[in-house]
């Protein structure tokens, strides 16, 4: 089976720090190669992979201010589509734009829908539903007007996330985009009410929100912002936290940081929205709450969570190997048709 893996090109695959779609694409690609499949990764030229790499853009447009994002995207997608006859299947991780090529090629395309950035893009998915195979990343993120061939939860490389049963530092952690959707302001409120230090980590995606809702509360002793993190620093932060706070204000399609945190043994306190009930077992790997006051009460009970259960459940449900096996089953199902 020859697979073309079409990655996004905002960031390198895998990303250096931020880039969740690129990260998932990388994890899946490397697992499929490990399983002996012939995979060609269409990504940025600086991407790191054991698959065959094809690129027309040297680096991600978010990392190169001279790059026009739309031009780069058009060249990137067309590069894959013009070579489509050489593959048995194309796996589109790029969102809706590649769907518009699907009637011009004979190679079947499976599209992972990482989320709907706006209701305005749904007509594209509706138009090409009959010519594509859609995969959701959580059942909560399915659109009622679309048909799906399957649901595959994101997986992580468990070898990168080391378990810690006895966290050495007494802080709460927020890890995500600094944007109203992710709820950094509520994380600050929860930590302050609980009387526990908070570390905030993530890229600033909304400058006004950061200046008005986050910066006024920053200091060295109770609320600390460290920016975007990756690699060993990110893992250490997760390992040593009492809990990860995830007070989202939108219907989140998945939540990689939630799974990564639990892989380190760190439970998660999240607002009951979107995919959170699919990821977190309330009272077993964390707590699902509806507001900041409930979250404060959950912080008080966090020591009741057995951190080994957090790791165990991730290994059983959210590993990159499981993700790859599930996608391979979908590829075979499509080709059998």
| pLDDT 10s digits, 147-206 | 999 999 999 999 999 998 888 778 999 999 999 999 999 999 999 999 999 999 999 999
Q: How many domains does the chain have?
A: 2
**Contact present, 152 and 233 (Cβ < 8 Å):** no
pLDDT in tens, 214-243: 999 999 789 999 999 888 899 999 999 999
Same domain membership, residue 192 and residue 294: yes
Same domain membership, residue 214 and residue 270: yes
Is residue 131's pLDDT more than 80?
yes
DSSP codes of every residue in 148-198: EEEE----B-GGGS---SS-SS-EEEEES-BSGGGTHHHHHHHHHHHT-EE
Residue 220: predicted pLDDT: 78
Backbone angles phi, psi at 3, to 5 degrees: -115, 130
Same domain membership, residue 232 and residue 214: yes
- 296-302 long-range Cβ contacts below 8 angstroms, 24+ apart: 296/190, 296/193, 296/194, 298/243, 298/269, 299/172, 299/190, 299/194, 299/196, 299/242, 299/243, 299/269, 300/194, 302/242, 302/243, 302/267, 302/269
Residues in the chain: 337
The mean pLDDT value of the chain amounts to: 96
pLDDT in tens, 73-109: 999 999 999 999 999 999 999 999 999 999 999 999 9
Q: Interior CA angle at 115 toward 109 and 121, to 5°? A: 75
Same domain membership, residue 129 and residue 186: no
Same domain membership, residue 330 and residue 313: no
SS3 (DSSP) at 252: coil
Structure-token match 């499509």, residue found: 334
Give the CA distances from residue 157 to residues 82, 264, 306, in Å, rounded to whole numbers and listed in that order. 32, 12, 22
Please report which helix (H) or strand (E) contains residue 295, including its range. helix 292-300
CATH number of the domain that 6 lies in? 3.40.50.2000
**Could you give the CA distance from residue 274 to residue 203 in angstroms, rounded to a whole number?**
22
Same domain membership, residue 234 and residue 90: no
Same domain membership, residue 245 and residue 196: yes
What is the pLDDT averaged over residues 29-36? Answer: 97
19 vs 314: which has the higher pLDDT: 314
- pLDDT confidence band for 336 (50 / 70 / 90): very high
Same domain membership, residue 63 and residue 211: no
DSSP secondary-structure letter at 319? B
Same domain membership, residue 307 and residue 278: yes
What is the pLDDT averaged over residues 2-12? Answer: 97
Same domain membership, residue 138 and residue 176: no
Same domain membership, residue 323 and residue 285: no
Q: Interior CA angle at 271 toward 270 and 274, to 5°? A: 105
Q: Of 158, 145, 142, 80, give the one whose Cα is nearest residue 274.
A: 142
Instruction: Name the pTM for this structure.
Output: 0.93
Token pair for 72: 């780069």
Q: Which domain holds residue 243?
A: 158-317
Same domain membership, residue 225 and residue 104: no
Q: Which residues contact 231 (CB under 8 A, 6 or more apart)?
A: 17
Torsion angle, alpha carbons of 65, 67, 68, 70, to 10: -120
DSSP codes of every residue in 25-72: HHHHHHHHHHTT-EEEEE--TT---SSEEE-S-SS-TTT-TTS-HHHH
């Amino acid at each position: 089976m020859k697979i073309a893996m079409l990655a996004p090109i905002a960031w390198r695959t895998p990303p250096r720090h931020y880039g969740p779609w690129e990260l998932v694409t990388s994890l899946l690609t490397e697992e499929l190669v490990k399983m002996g499949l012939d995979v060609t990764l269409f990504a940025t030229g600086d991407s790191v992979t054991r698959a065959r790499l094809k690129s027309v853009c040297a680096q991600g447009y978010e990392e190169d201010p001279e790059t026009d994002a739309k031009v780069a995207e058009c060249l990137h997608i067309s590069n894959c589509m013009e070579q489509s006859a050489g593959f048995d299947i194309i796996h589109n991780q790029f969102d809706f734009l590649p769907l518009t090529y699907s009637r011009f090629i004979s190679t079947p395309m499976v599209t992972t829908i990482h989320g709907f950035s706006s209701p305005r893009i749904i007509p594209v998915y509706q138009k090409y539903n009959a010519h594509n195979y859609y995969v959701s990343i959580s059942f909560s993120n399915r659109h009622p007007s679309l048909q799906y061939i399957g649901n595959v939860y994101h997986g992580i490389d468990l070898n990168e996330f080391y378990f810690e049963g006895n966290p050495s530092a007494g802080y709460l952690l927020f890890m995500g985009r600094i944007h109203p959707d992710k709820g950094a302001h509520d994380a600050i409120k929860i930590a302050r009410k609980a009387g526990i230090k908070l570390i905030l980590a993530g890229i600033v995606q909304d400058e006004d929100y950061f200046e008005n809702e986050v910066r006024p509360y920053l200091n060295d002793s109770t609320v600390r912002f460290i920016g975007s993190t990756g690699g060993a620093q990110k893992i250490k932060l997760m390992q040593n936290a009492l809990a990860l706070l995830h007070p989202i204000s939108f219907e989140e399609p998945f939540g990689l940081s939630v799974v990564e945190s639990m892989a380190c043994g760190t439970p998660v306190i999240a607002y009951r929205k979107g995919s959170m009930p699919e990821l977190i077992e309330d009272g077993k790997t964390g707590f699902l709450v509806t507001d900041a006051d409930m979250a404060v009460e959950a912080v008080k009970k966090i020591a009741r969570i057995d951190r080994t259960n957090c790791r165990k459940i991730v290994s059983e449900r959210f590993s990159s190997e499981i993700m790859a096996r599930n996608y391979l089953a979908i590829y075979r199902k499509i080709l059998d048709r």
